[in-house]
Structure formats: C-alpha cells, structure tokens
Copies of this chain bind each other. A is one copy, B any other.
C-alpha cells in the first residue's frame, strides 16, 4: 500500500476529540460494511471485486481488448454516468489528457449527452479509420446511450455489413435481462456483465471500466492488484487511511465546511476529479445533506478559483491527491540573457517546481482558513490508480454512514427523467 494521508495541514481546524469521535464512528461504519449490515447492503458487491471476479470473463475482456487493438484505430465507448466516467478517468490518468492525440487507438466516449453536434463529431472522427464499439448499459434503455447506440449500430452495419459489425460491437450489460442483452444475444455481440450488486458509480473495476481501459492498452492486472492491496488494508474497520479520510471529511462537514475541493497538480487527473464528483455527489447528496464536491487542477486554477479559495467564504476544504514520482520530467535550462528572470530555476526540474507550488499553496490556503488534506500515492501508474479507486469507494461508503444516508441509492436522479418521459410522450408516462 503506497497511499499515505498527510494531516499536518488540518491543525487548528479539528480538535483531537472531534477527530477521535469521528474515527470511532468510521471504524464502526467500516465494520458494518464488512459484515454487510449497512444501509444499501444489496449493492456492496464492489467490495470484493479485486479478489472475487469471474476469471473466465476477465480472460475474455483481455482477448476482446486485444482484438479491438488489432482491428481498430477508434473505439467508441457508449455510456453515461458510471458507464463512462471510470474508464475515462483511468485512461486520462494513465495516458494524459492528450491520450487520444498521441495513442494508436483513440477512445471516444459518446452517448453521455443529448447534443447532436457532439454525436456528429464522433462520427466525423471515425472517418477513414477502423472502428469498434463498446456499448455499456445495464438496461439498454437509458435515453442518452440508447440514442447514440441506435446511430452507431446503423453506422457499423452500413459500413461493415451486419455480420462483421456484430464482431466489432461489444456489449456490457445485465447478465440475463434487458433490451441490450436480448439484442446482443440475437445479433451475436460478445457480452460482458454489469453485476446486479454493483451500482454504476462503483463499477469501474467490473467489465464496465476494465474493457475500455484494457483496449486503451493499459495493464488491468496491475489496477486490480492495486485495488486488492487496498481491499486487504481496509478489510477491518479502523486503523487505515481510508477510514481516517472519511472521519476527517465528515468532521469538517459537521464544522461547517460544506464544499470539498478535489485538487491535483497534474492535468491528467481532470477526469478522475469528475469520477470523484459522481461518486461523492451521488452517494452523499441526499435528504438535504451532503458535502458539495467541486474540483480544480493547480496551478492552472490558482489563476481562476485561487482568489476565492484564499479569501472567499470560509466553507471550503481541500483534498489534494499528490504523486511522489512523475512519468516524464523536464529540467529548466539556463538562458545567457535571462530575458525572463527565470535563471534562478535553472537546473531544477519542472516536477520540483510543481511540488514547491503545492507546498506553497498548502501553506497559503491553511493561513487563509482552508483545511487541507494531502493524499499521497506513488505515481500516476496502474497500481496507484487501482489503490485510489478502492480508497475513495471505501471512504465514500463510510462517510455516508457518518452522514446517515444510504451510499448506494440515487432516488433524486429519477425526478427529471419522469418529467422528461412525460413531456416526450413515452409509453407508460401520461401527460
């Protein structure tokens, strides 16, 4: 386990007694989770995914990924919410924000909005390239991915013929029921399973996340190994960084810190932040309660939200994810004329400067009244990624217990859908 949690920037914001009380609650909540006696306990299948996965399916995932890489330059991944955020977070975390411009296989995430231009652009980007499709939907009827899949099914069949298209389409869906499963069986698509006991936002370590990640060329064995280390470390409630993180954030919330700012100093973390916002927002934001999840990339957004964080309403706390090692570094070179006054940095690497910016910012924000947590991992690699996924999933479940909400439901998401189906005249929804 490489993850450590630095709490030195919390001093003065929480008392020992507050943190100790919350830690006790967190340990109890973690035990209830381990015993399966927690709220929403029909959705805790994610807990054992790193160890108890279906070996036969996992082998098929790897084979399908290899086939995709051999036969396509574009993989179109159709899904919304938990059906795309985890994979996209992983691919950009591991490959950088410019992954699609630099890698041999582009991974396009579509069907996560109802914007027609976005869908047209995805079709444009397929021009002249070979394409595979991975459609991800438990039911097959979620509006956004269903519209996109109708378009791409036709596109693939027009282009490749029905038989070849069927070999290029992979469906991740319910194991037995639903329109997408039925269609797949009829058409002969290879299928992978969205388990019944794993909710969308907890599904990145199922085929939902693993197939696109493997197709993008990353090592899912290592991701699972990282997650497995975390699973073992947090198996018993109490003395671990994930429970501690849950205790701290819940304590801060009780003391009026209403906004959590997920922060990283590497732009490749941008979509991981989005994954975090779904995980925490959808799990905690209910019954009129919940920390509002926001995100920033520094130093970029120090020149945007930095002023607010330093000096606005004192309701923000910061959770920084930092990495001990970088993938590629670059040394600042001396310049004979020192035209920009930067020679004082000559010989330093950018990663050293970036790390110093982080230390400087932590000090400034604490001075300004913003409690900061620093979660430190080894590197932006597969193993750390697996650890981070599991770390945040576990802490989220524990945090919700401290707030007194069910971490695994999302009743509020239905409200707009019901209105929409009624307005659109969907059968069964009367005006």
Q: Is the interface of A mostly helix, strand, loop or mixed?
A: helix
> Contact between B412 and A311 (Cβ–Cβ < 8 Å)?
yes
Q: Which are the 6 A-B pairs with shortest beta-carbon distances?
A: A285-B308, A81-B303, A285-B312, A310-B412, A360-B419, A311-B412
Residue of B nearest to A303 (CB): B81
Of A16-24, A235-243, A275-283, which binds chain B?
A: A275-283
Cβ of A348 within 8 Å of any chain B Cβ, yes or no, is: yes
Contact status of A299 and B423, CB under 8 A, knowing A85-B304, A332-B147: no
Q: Which of A96-104, A159-167, A213-221, A391-399 contacts B (4 or more CB under 8 A)?
A: A96-104
Given A100-B101, A359-B423, answer yes or no on A330-B182 (Cβ-Cβ < 8 Å).
Answer: no
Q: Are B266 and A115 neighbours in the complex by a CB distance under 8 Å?
A: yes
In whole angstroms, how far apart are the Cα atoms of A288 and B308 in the complex? Answer: 9
Complex Cα distance, B302 from A85, in Å, reads 13
Contact partners of A149 in chain B: CB under 8 A: 340
Asked if residues B304 and A278 are in contact (CB atoms below 8 Å), the reply is yes
**B179, A119: Cβ atoms closer than 8 Å:** no
Task: Determine if A284 and B302 form an interchain contact, defined as CB atoms under 8 angstroms apart.
Answer: no
Which residues in chain A, 308-330, are within 8 Å of chain B measured between CB atoms?
308-316, 326-330
List residues 61-105 of chain A with CB under 8 A from any CB of chain B.
80-82, 85, 96-98, 100-102
* A97 proximity list for chain B (CB < 8 A): 118, 121
User: Are B415 and A310 neighbours in the complex by a CB distance under 8 Å?
Assistant: yes
Check B288–A303 contact: CB distance below 8 A: no
Measured in the bound complex, the distance between the Cα atoms of B115 and A265 in whole Å is 7
With A80-B303, A98-B121, A354-B115 known as contacts, the answer to whether A313 contacts B332 (CB < 8 A) is no
B125 A299 Cβ-Cβ under 8 A: no
Across-interface contacts of A425 in B (CB, < 8 A): 344
Given A284-B312, A303-B81, answer yes or no on A368-B294 (Cβ-Cβ < 8 Å).
no
A413 and B118 contact, CB distance less than 8 A: no
**Quick check: A326 and B117 within 8 Å, CB to CB?**
yes
Q: Are A278 and B292 neighbours in the complex by a CB distance under 8 Å?
A: no
A1 contacts partner chain B, Cβ-Cβ < 8 Å: no
Which of B141, B266, B342, B356 touches A420 (beta carbons < 8 Å)? B356
Q: Is residue A35 within 8 Å, beta carbon to beta carbon, of the partner chain?
A: no
Residues on B with beta carbons closer than 8 Å to the beta carbon of A116: 326, 328-330, 349-351, 354
**A333 on interface, CB distance cutoff 8 Å:** yes
The docked-state distance in angstroms from the alpha carbon of A254 to that of B418 is 32
Are B294 and A312 in contact (CB-based, < 8 A)?
Answer: no
Q: B415 near A114 (CB under 8 angstroms)?
A: no
Residue contact B259 to A277, C-beta cutoff 8 Å: no
Q: How far is the CB of A52 from chain B (nearest CB, A)?
A: 27
A154 interfacial contact with B, CB 8 Å: yes
Q: Is A37 on the interface with B (CB-CB < 8 A)? A: no
Given A284-B308, A292-B316, A326-B116: A342 touches B411 (CB 8 Å cut-off)? no
Query: A147: which B residues are within 8 A, CB to CB?
Result: 332, 342, 345, 350, 353
Partner of A344, one of B144, B417, B427: B427
Across-interface contacts of A423 in B (CB, < 8 A): 356, 359-360
CB–CB A350/B96 < 8 A:
no
Contacting residues, chain B, for A417 (C-beta < 8 A): 360
B274 and A353 within 8 A (CB): no
In A391-431, the 8 Å CB interface with B consists of 410-413, 415-420, 422-427
**Once the chains bind, are A102 and B124 in contact (CB under 8 Å)?**
yes
Contacting B at CB under 8 A, from A137-158, are 140-141, 143-144, 146-147, 149-151, 154
Interface assignment of A15: CB less than 8 Å from any CB of chain B: no
